[in-house]
Amino acid sequence: MSRRRGRRHRSGEEVELNLAAMLDMAFQLLAFFILTYRPGPVEGQINLRLPPPVGITTAGTAKPGETLSTTEVPKGLNTLVVSVFANEAGRIASMGVGENRINTLPGLDTKLQQVFTDKATPFDQVIIQVGGRLRYDELMKVVEVCTRQTLPDGEKLAKLSFVEAPD
């Protein structure tokens, strides 16, 4: 019994945490990580490996997981080929619609409008041949011009394929 009497029970008292020391340590760690953080270099060029064009008529013939290894233009489709070539900086140097050479995006827009309003030459899809050095943002400008086009039946052009242009 003497042991019990010698011990004091503090059932009414609660343990207090020193929050000032914890906050001080948290801010020191935060300052350390902010001052020592070194971001990686910004990627300016994304090197693309574009898949080969797959015709819309052959799209359903492949089994899941199977890769069609063809670089030929699909047969049985009226296909318009738009070629885009890059300069040394990765910007658009020249373009072509079929055999016609075009130098600007507004010129491409005008030529595509002429081609798609002609009912004598209906096209089912557009294949964009892309030069290997072309930057991604430049390719998206060409894609935007192509998708703005309206087909003779009033629908928007939605069937685009990509292939890497031979060097």
Q: Do residues 162 and 126 touch, judged by C-beta distance below 8 A?
A: no
pLDDT digits (tens, 9 = 90+) for 55-92: 555 455 555 556 555 555 545 567 788 888 888 888 88
Q: Is the pTM of this model over 0.85?
A: no
Lowest mean pLDDT among 47-51, 57-61, 136-140: 57-61
